[in-house]
Amino acid sequence: MKTSTVIGLAGLGIGVVHIALAERRHRQMRRVAVMAQHADLLRDIASDDVLASVVWPETEPEVATQYLLANRQLAFWGMGLAVGHFSASVIQDSLKAFMEPAINRGFWENARERRIRAAQTTRDHLFNVLADAAYWEHEKSSAL
């Protein structure tokens, strides 16, 4: 009787772990779907100067479009980090290259606070820390 109880409890424990992992995966997949919709939205807005000027009203339409494309690139990398497709070191290297063009740094200057406030997970926060570090590293090296 004791052996069957132990086996039953072990099976129950495995079942609970399985359910918890399935729930985690479900949340992750929902997040990926939302991020994909976000990328589509950014693409659609970037293709229309009128819509781009609504999102970035204080900028020229061409700059607003470039900001939207920069945001789309960051969203892609952020999602890749969030789901474990990219490591932090890969993201760090990519962000260093991303911050080289002035337009991308301008985007980060304008969007930094909003992106930091919107961070929902530890990996979102990590991504913003990495992006900000890449920005400041470029600013520091260009000031020398």
The reported pTM is 0.71
Tell whether 7 is covered by a domain.
no
Q: What is the pLDDT of residue 130?
A: 97
Assigned domain for 14 exists:
no
Query: Looking at the domain assignment, is residue 12 inside a domain?
Result: no
Q: Which of 56, 58, 128, 68 is nearest to 104 (CA)?
A: 68
Contact yes or no for 134/96 (Cβ under 8 A): yes
Q: In terms of residue numbers, what domain contains 120?
A: 31-143
pLDDT 10s digits, 89-111: 999 999 999 999 999 999 999 99
The number of distinct structural domains making up the chain is 1
* Residue 120 counted as domain residue: yes
17 occurs within a structural domain: no
CB contact at 8 A, 78 and 120? no
Domain assignment present for 2: no
At residue 12, the pLDDT reads 67
Q: Does any domain span residue 22?
A: no
Half-sphere exposure of 79 toward its Cβ, with a 13 Å CA cutoff? 18
Q: Are 86 and 80 in contact (CB under 8 A)?
A: yes
88 against 48, higher pLDDT: 88
Enumerate residues 6+ apart whose C-beta is below 8 A from 76.
Answer: 39
| Confidence check: pLDDT of 87 > 80 | yes
Q: How far is CA 58 from the centre of its chain?
A: 25
